Amino acid sequence: MAEQNQIKQNAYRSDGFIGKYQRLVSDTVIPYQYKVLNDKAEGAEKSHVVQNFINAGKAVRGEDPGDGFYGMVFQDSDAAKWIEAAAYSLANFPDPALEKQVDDLIDIIAAAQDEDGYLDTYFTIKDKDKRWMNLLEAHELYCAGHMIEAACAYYESTGKMRLLDVMRKNAALIYKVFVEDGHGGFPGHPEIELALMKMYHLTGDKKCLALAEYFINTRGTDPDYYRRECDARDWKVWGNDPGNGEYQQSNIPLRKAERAAGHAVRAVYLYTGMADLAAETGDGELFGACRRLWDSITKRQMYITGGIGSTVHGEAFSVDFDLPPDTAYAETCASIGLMFFASRMLENEVNGEYADVMEQAFYNTVLAGMQLDGKRFFYVNPLEVIPGISGVSPTHRHDLTQRPGWYTCACCPPNAARLISSFGKYAYGENDDTVFCHLFAAGTVSFENGMELVCETGYPYSFTVRYKVTGTGKVAVRIPHWSAEYSLAVNAESFNDAPVDGYVYIPVHGEAEIILTLDGTPRFVYASPKVPRLTGCTAVCRGPLVYCFEGADNDGDVLSLKLCTGGSIGVTEDPGLLGGTVKLAVPAVRVSQTEGLYTTSKPTETPCTAYAVPYYAWGNRGENQMRVWLPVNE
């Protein structure tokens, strides 16, 4: 096992492109989402999250719970993810006013905890006698997991124990119910597994480790559990099919799993917990399952943007190579979960392909999930939208042409906020004698092994990465798979050691300047012929960025464009475009319109230039056509 330990968030300070996004989250996203949670955001759907906790506190004290519970059964998790995002933001940008808001919310949450440690507003307000009776649908363990993550993050950032104490008490109750009392079963929506591992790493509480191991080891060993649970009660939340074990990742023991299946977010949250447990315990069999699941996702079920979960039916994986661009689901949360999974796989083995996928998912699907102003969000991330069809046709209704402001099911906006704010946890890692540069981000890092690093780069638009390192040990720098060529210099001298599993290891004694130069040449990318919708098509990428063609740059029409792959792709920096970006100019032809729906006359083709912008920035200039994949002109 790699025995690599992720650095604490407050040891990283970011600048550059990532710093700009972190500042946006701090200045705009977190305050806006706080208003949403308190039902004070104009034009946003009612949330009631904070009021749910207030009402639950009344119920705990035996008082009238006011207007009761409102929202989804997992509504509590919105507060948890907001606290986690705020915690990481406080580490980046100390803010006494924000810290007080978090402290006040934690007091409200703590007051909603029952005497035995139970914490879930839905059941505390509505159905106290139905606790733990509907693991399939009710999300009690899911909500607990997110609040555990929030508690860990807030303690790491501020040193405050209030929420951590609340959630340690809650975890102790869950351990008693499921391990000591033998309740049986496992979470319908995995999440608590990865959260328990975080709490174990932070506190050393072995009950957290044992509980995570219990849920992972139990899952799938009794495929009929949810059916029996459903038969034993006369109520439901929304009617999940208890017999659909594949959707719930509960049809076979996890160590025997061969392919990623079911609800995509649930899957990657579960696989993250599995990978973390495998790294902690040295469980080679469990890691072997993780590796098979990783390959299933990234080699056969992942979009070029790092999006996963191709079908709207169940927000799920479908079958291998089923990756339609226009009906893609590719939920933002699923790509965030894929990054979680990749980061834990790096804890098992240092292999550049995990960081490659983290980068692919982040710079494309994750960032595309948020409008450039931080005020609107995509749940679904298609690779093609056509106004009049997308968001309208029954088959395309989920693929919207514009980002909504908020959702009744608001999992993605706070998820994106917490991921962006904690970017340092994914960019860097360490073990006793090596620091790992997984992702390229300007900023300053202090490692627990005594080494310090300053990174200067304009990435992802500039391809020179400069590290100033002090300390004694090794610096492992990832060489991305997309970079056809690269050069490394250490203290102004060429460094030619070959990469090992995607990383070049550079010894440092005292001080060193490391300069990595990557290949920023734009490139055409082609899909496997096994992907039916992409036959004869190409996409355009530069560095980690996938590009797309919008009508706004192409006379309103991208459907008639075909790309000429024999020519070179032009690169133009445009500080005034979409917050400052690089536009690509691709040789193309435009196919003439026909008079009728069908014709026997071959359409004429006129040479032109097709212009592309980064996929993460699409949909910021009003409704228009967008395509990632375009036909190749033969």
Q: Are residues 205 and 119 in the same domain?
A: yes
Question: What is the average pLDDT score of the chain?
Answer: 94
pLDDT of residue 1: 39
Considering the domain architecture, whether residues 504 and 382 belong to the same structural domain is answered as: no
Residues 264, 181, single domain; the answer is no
527 and 499 both lie in a single domain: no
β-pairing, 570-574 vs 428-430, is: unpaired
Residue 550 in this model has a pLDDT that exceeds 90: yes
| Percentage, residues of the chain above pLDDT 70 | 97
Work out the average pLDDT over 347-376: 95
- Do 512 and 534 lie in a common domain? no
Taking the CA atoms of 401, 402, 406 and 412 in sequence, report the sign of the dihedral they define: positive
pLDDT in the model for residue 44: 77
Alpha carbons 302 and 310: distance in angstroms, whole number = 8
Mean pLDDT of 519-537: 97
* Inside any domain, residue 3: no
Which DSSP category does 513 fall into? E
Q: Is the pLDDT of residue 3 over 60?
A: no
Tell me: pLDDT of 83 over 60.
yes
pTM: 0.96
What pLDDT is stored for residue 239 in this prediction? Answer: 87
For residues 139-152, give the mean pLDDT: 98
- How many separate domains does the chain show? 4
Residue 283 has pLDDT above 70, yes or no: yes
Q: Measure the CA–CA gap between 138 and 449, rounded to whole angstroms.
A: 43
User: Does any domain span residue 7?
Assistant: no
Domain stops at, among 518, 552, 579: 518
Among candidate residues 290, 411, 537, 541, the one labeled active-site is 411
Q: Does 452 score more than 50 pLDDT?
A: yes
Smallest Cα–Cα separation from 409: which of 419, 420, 398?
Answer: 398
Q: pLDDT tens for residues 364-406?
A: 999 999 999 988 888 899 999 999 999 999 999 999 888 877 5
Does the CA dihedral 409-34-126-181 come out positive or negative? Answer: positive
What share of the chain has pLDDT > 90, as a percent?
Answer: 90
Q: Which of 363, 397, 422 delimits the end of a domain?
A: 422
The reply to whether 270 and 331 lie within a common domain is: yes
Kindly state the DSSP code that residue 278 receives in the 8-state scheme: H
Nearest alpha-carbon partner for 11 in 439, 344, 429: 429
Taking the chain, what is the end-to-end CA distance rounded to the nearest angstrom?
A: 49
- On whether both 403 and 360 belong to a single domain, the answer is yes
Catalytic residue among 315, 353, 384, 430, which?
315
Residue 371: predicted pLDDT: 93
- Checking if the pLDDT of 246 tops 60, the result is yes
Which of 379, 397, 422 marks a domain boundary?
Answer: 422
Of 7 and 208, more confident: 208
Nearest CA-CA partner of 384 in 620, 634, 584, 619: 619
Residue 166: inside a domain: yes
Average pLDDT over residues 314-330: 96
Report if residue 375 sits inside a domain.
yes
Residue 26 has pLDDT above 50, yes or no: yes
Q: Is residue 5, in this structure, part of any structural domain at all?
A: no
Position 2 pLDDT exceeds 70: no
pLDDT at 111 over 80: yes
CA–CA separation, 303 vs 534, rounded Å? 11
Cβ 384 vs Cβ 627: under 8 Å: yes
Instruction: Report the Cα 270 to chain-centroid distance in Å.
Output: 13
| Spatial separation of the C-alpha atoms in residues 275 and 286, rounded to whole Å | 7
pLDDT tier at 5 (50, 70, 90 boundaries)?
Answer: low
Active site residue 315: yes
Q: What is the pLDDT of residue 4?
A: 58
Q: Are 480 and 352 in contact (CB under 8 A)?
A: yes
Give the pLDDT confidence score for residue 408 in this predicted structure.
56
pLDDT of residue 270: 98
Indicate the pLDDT class of residue 634, thresholds 50, 70 and 90.
confident
Instruction: Give the residue from 162, 124, 164 showing the smallest Cα distance to 140.
Output: 124
Q: Is 230 a catalytic residue?
A: no
Report yes or no on 334 lying in a domain.
yes
Which whole number is the average pLDDT over 582-589? 98
Structure tokens at 329: 């689901």
CA distance 617 to 531: 25
pLDDT of residue 305: 98
Do 125 and 202 fall into the same domain? Answer: yes
Domain harbouring 461, CATH code? 2.60.40.1180
Same domain, 289 and 340: yes
3-state secondary structure of 541: strand
* CA neighbor of 208 nearest in space, from 240, 242, 168: 168
Residues 66 and 168 in one domain: yes
pLDDT score at 156: 96
Residue 48 makes CB contacts below 8 A (sequence gap 6+) with: 39, 69, 70, 71, 75
Q: Residues 356, 492: one domain?
A: no
Separation between Cα atoms, residue 469 and residue 446, nearest integer Å? 10
- Residues 459, 382, single domain; the answer is no
pLDDT greater than 80 at residue 8: no
Look at strands 464-478 and 452-457 and give their pairing: antiparallel
Phi-psi region of 3 (alpha: psi -120 to 50; beta: other; left: phi over 0): left
Residue 41: predicted pLDDT: 83
- Kindly report, residue by residue over 407-420, the tens digit of the pLDDT: 555 556 778 889 99
d(CA 460, CA 477): 16
- In a domain? residue 586: yes
Residue 13 has a pLDDT of 67
> Residue 115 burial by CB count (10 A; 0-12/13-18/19+): exposed, middle or buried?
exposed
Residues 441-468, mean pLDDT to the nearest whole number: 95
Asked whether residue 13 is assigned to any structural domain, the reply reads no
* C-beta of residue 464 within 8 angstroms of C-beta of residue 513: no
Write out the residue range of the structural domain in which residue 352 sits. Answer: 258-422
